[in-house]
Amino acid sequence: MHAMATATATHNLPRTLRAEGDWHHAFSYHPMDVEIARADGVHIYDRDGNRYFDVSGGPMAVNLPHNHPRMKRAIQEQLEHYTYTHPSIADPKRAEFCRLLAEITPGDLDHAFLVSGGSEAVETAIKLARQAQIALGNPGKYKIVSHRDSYHGMTIGSLAVSHNPVVQAAFEPMLPKWPHVRQYSDFDRPEGTSREEWGVECAKALEYAIHYAGPKTVAAFLATPHGCGADYACVPPDSYWRTIRE
């Protein structure tokens, strides 16, 4: 199976990279036969000048325009001062970012813990949930409930709360056996049932999972408010999250 996957990956490489040698290990996905030469705005251009629409917005997580004058100017201005400092050093730019972030987050979410990427953010959230339960006097609460058909990262902890059997298979003995519940979906919503009504019904799956896993063992529920990619971009109605919180 590994040999077939390797051959397929190599075959799909752009001809210019194939000429350079064994490049298939340089990609985490099997690449398309497209080699990027430049990008501008929402478009990508290959070596032959063909234009492609970057519909995924990069990796579907960082929706930044290509070659944007404002971004380039901001990066250049920052590089003229300093690049990166240790978190123990007071950084006014980091503080400004946290302040702006607090202005757009809902409710009283006014604290930020900055990390290097999504997987680390999920790992940190899992650890914070565990620490919170210990501080509250609930040392037996350690399980994290999450959605089926979800993606939260590729580290051990984030892979455990994700639900991708194909990716998880090789690491199965190492992953915690945490519960997964169905997501909200309009695809199987019964005819005559409104989105709000169906949202309440789908949310009840969390209550069942908590009772099945043991209420005294569940530390937190982890979910993506607006889906993207692995979870077919589902956007639950307000009734779903309201019922989840209850």
Q: By the 8 A CB rule, do 61 and 55 touch?
A: no
Per-residue pLDDT in tens (0 to 9) along the chain, 246 residues? 333 333 344 455 555 555 555 655 556 565 677 788 999 999 999 888 999 998 877 777 777 889 999 999 999 999 999 998 888 999 999 999 999 999 999 888 888 999 988 899 999 999 999 999 999 999 999 999 999 888 898 899 999 999 888 888 889 889 998 999 998 888 889 999 999 999 999 999 999 999 999 999 999 999 988 766 555 677 899 999 999 998
Domains parsed from the chain with CATH numbers: 84-114 (no CATH), 118-245 (3.40.640.10)
